């Protein structure tokens, strides 16, 4: 178990111990989907515990109310243990396996790859392009491609992105095979839709009503709100890129597009979401009580939030200054951050989205089968 300190118990074994205690106590059954799912089981196989860990949204609610939390001798700390078990599952199911070690020191690796991505895009552009072109003013159709040629921009980014998506799909399939035994033959379109809906609404960060106790013991919807900004901001940026691809390949309309065009409007709204969301989540994380967190995993969360924030910031600054001589350098820096995100996508906290979605689909299927 690579992600645990030597002093820490192995996460799956510890999760089994905690679920046995919680299944006798059941005080937290109204908090989230985890406890009802736990109550559907009398024994906990490794796949069940991995599923429960990925169903947990880390809201800390059960820690704050638990009469057996430290310093009680039972030492019940469900959010921390499930956080470690989730991270262990990201590593176990990652593809290709030799890259799974990237989760081990994820914050550091993400930072190094970000620097490498930046250096690569900057180095290649300066190697291929005359500095007068990079630092010149360009406007109108094809302005971006005068700084970084179309093929140099589209092919590397497209191939890296496709590899990242393939790696995440393989990881998701491996996870599903290992955890979904309880719903074998019980999956229905309604269950899938139910799981997707719970994912899109983050229902489980509602804490059973009134929000969750994060970052402190006060009930609040702050985490759900900032997560929505982040998730929907990311999806709007993805939609902007998809629409721009259709404009380019289907209609032959070459970027950059007007400020009121669909890709720019979607990208601007998404960019604002990706500024507000990660900044808010970072601020909450800084204030969050440390005891229910897995200290060694904070770097993984922070690294991704900072990277998303920087991608958005550089994208919006590029939009504002795209018709000035700063455009070339801003474009290079923005694409360097984007490349770093694509490369690390399957080996970063981003994978939690895939596993959480699958866990919520399984939860919906189990509830329907009751
Ligand atoms: S977390 Fe604590 S209070 Fe909640 S069900 Fe488990 S043992 Fe009971
Ligand atoms: S931390 Fe929150 S989501 Fe996770 S088990 Fe506890 S109450 Fe449920």
| pLDDT by position in tens, the chain (length 370) | 333 344 566 999 999 999 999 999 999 999 999 999 999 999 999 999 999 999 999 999 999 999 999 999 999 999 999 999 999 999 999 998 877 776 666 666 766 777 777 777 777 777 777 888 888 888 888 889 888 888 888 888 889 899 999 999 999 999 999 999 889 888 999 999 999 999 999 998 877 677 888 888 888 999 999 999 999 999 999 999 999 999 999 999 999 999 999 999 999 999 999 999 999 999 999 999 899 988 878 888 888 999 999 999 999 999 999 999 999 989 988 988 898 888 888 888 899 999 999 999 999 999 998 8
pLDDT for position 179? 96
Is the CA virtual torsion 162, 263, 278, 302 positive or negative?
A: positive
Which class for 331: exposed (0-12), middle (13-18), buried (19 or more C-beta within 10 A)? Answer: buried
Check: CB of residue 314 under 8 Å from CB of residue 267: no
pLDDT for position 5? 41
Closest approach atom of ligand 2 to CA 207: 7
Q: Is omega for the bond preceding 215 within 30 degrees of 0, making it cis?
A: yes
- Give the total number of structural domains in the chain: 1
Tokens coding 367: 């509830």
Give residue 303 CA to ligand 2 midpoint distance, Å. 23
Instruction: Please choose from 15, 18, 21, 31 the residue to mutate so as to test ligand 1's pocket, defined by most ligand atoms within 8 A of CB.
Output: 21
Q: Which CATH number does the domain housing residue 144 bear?
A: 1.20.950
* Enclosing domain of residue 280: 97-172+205-351
pLDDT for position 125? 77
Q: Does 44 map to a domain?
A: no
Q: Is omega for the bond preceding 96 within 30 degrees of 0, making it cis?
A: yes
Ligand 2 neighbour 361 (Cβ under 6 A): no
Ligand 2 neighbour 224 (Cβ under 6 A): no
Tell me how far apart the alpha carbons of residues 307 and 292 are, in angstroms, rounded to a whole number: 24
Q: Does 240 map to a domain?
A: yes
Q: Within 10 Å of residue 131's Cβ, how many Cβ atoms? A: 10
Residue found under tokens 């955890």 = 179
Check: CB of residue 213 under 8 Å from CB of residue 59: yes
Q: Which long-range contacts (CB under 8 A, 24 or more apart) does 170-175 make?
A: 170/95, 171/90, 171/93, 171/94, 171/95, 171/346, 171/351, 171/354, 172/93, 172/354, 172/355, 172/358, 174/92, 174/93, 174/95, 175/50, 175/54, 175/89, 175/93, 175/354, 175/355, 175/358
pLDDT for position 343? 84
The pTM assigned to this predicted structure is 0.90
Tokens coding 299: 């770097």
Closest approach atom of ligand 1 to CA 29: 5
Q: Does 72 map to a domain?
A: no
Q: Within 10 Å of residue 274's Cβ, how many Cβ atoms? A: 28
Ligand 1 neighbour 38 (Cβ under 6 A): no
Q: Does 280 map to a domain?
A: yes
Q: Does 179 map to a domain?
A: no
In sequence order, what are the residues at sequence separation of 6 or more whose Cβ sits closer than 8 angstroms to the Cβ of residue 158? Answer: none
Q: Residue 96 in 3-state DSSP?
A: coil
pLDDT for position 300? 83
Ligand 2 neighbour 214 (Cβ under 6 A): no
Q: Does 154 map to a domain?
A: yes
| Cross-strand pairs, 212 | 220
Q: Does 19 map to a domain?
A: no
pLDDT for position 1? 37
Q: Which ligand is nearest to the CA of 224?
A: 2
Tokens coding 39: 């109550």
Q: Does 308 map to a domain?
A: yes
């Amino acid at each position: 178990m690579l992600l645990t300190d030597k002093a820490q118990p192995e996460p799956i074994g510890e999760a089994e111990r905690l679920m046995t205690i919680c299944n006798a106590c059941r005080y937290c059954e109204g908090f989230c989907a985890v406890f009802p799912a736990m109550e559907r089981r009398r024994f906990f196989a490794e796949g069940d515990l991995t599923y429960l860990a990925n169903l947990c949204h880390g809201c800390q609610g059960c820690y704050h109310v638990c009469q057996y939390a430290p310093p009680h001798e039972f030492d019940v700390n469900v959010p921390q243990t499930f956080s470690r078990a989730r991270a262990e599952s990201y590593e176990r199911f990652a593809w290709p396996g030799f890259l799974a070690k990237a989760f081990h020191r994820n914050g550091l690796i993400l930072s190094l790859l970000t620097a490498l991505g930046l250096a690569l895009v900057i180095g290649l552009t300066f190697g291929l392009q005359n500095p007068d072109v990079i630092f010149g003013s360009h406007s109108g159709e094809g302005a971006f491609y005068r700084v970084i040629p179309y093929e140099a921009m589209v092919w590397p980014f497209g191939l890296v992105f496709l590899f990242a998506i393939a790696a995440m799909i393989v990881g998701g399939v491996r996870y599903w095979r290992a955890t979904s035994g309880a719903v074998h033959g019980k999956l229905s379109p309604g269950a899938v839709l139910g799981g997707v809906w719970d994912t899109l609404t983050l229902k489980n960060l509602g804490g059973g009503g009134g929000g969750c106790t994060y970052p402190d013991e006060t009930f609040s919807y702050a985490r759900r709100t900032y997560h929505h900004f982040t998730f929907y901001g990311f999806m709007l940026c993805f939609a902007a890129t998809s629409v721009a691809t259709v404009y380019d390949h289907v209609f032959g309309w070459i970027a950059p597009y007007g400020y009121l065009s669909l890709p720019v409007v979607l990208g601007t709204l998404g960019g604002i979401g990706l500024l507000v969301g990660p900044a808010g989540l970072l601020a909450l994380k800084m204030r969050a009580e440390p005891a229910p967190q897995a200290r060694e995993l904070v770097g993984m969360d922070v690294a991704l939030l900072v990277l998303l924030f920087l991608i958005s910031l550089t994208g919006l600054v590029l939009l504002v200054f795209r018709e000035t001589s700063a455009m070339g350098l801003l474009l290079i820096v923005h694409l360097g951050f984007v490349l770093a995100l694509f490369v690390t996508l399957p080996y970063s906290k981003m994978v939690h989205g895939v596993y959480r979605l699958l866990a919520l689909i399984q939860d919906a299927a189990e509830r329907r089968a009751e």
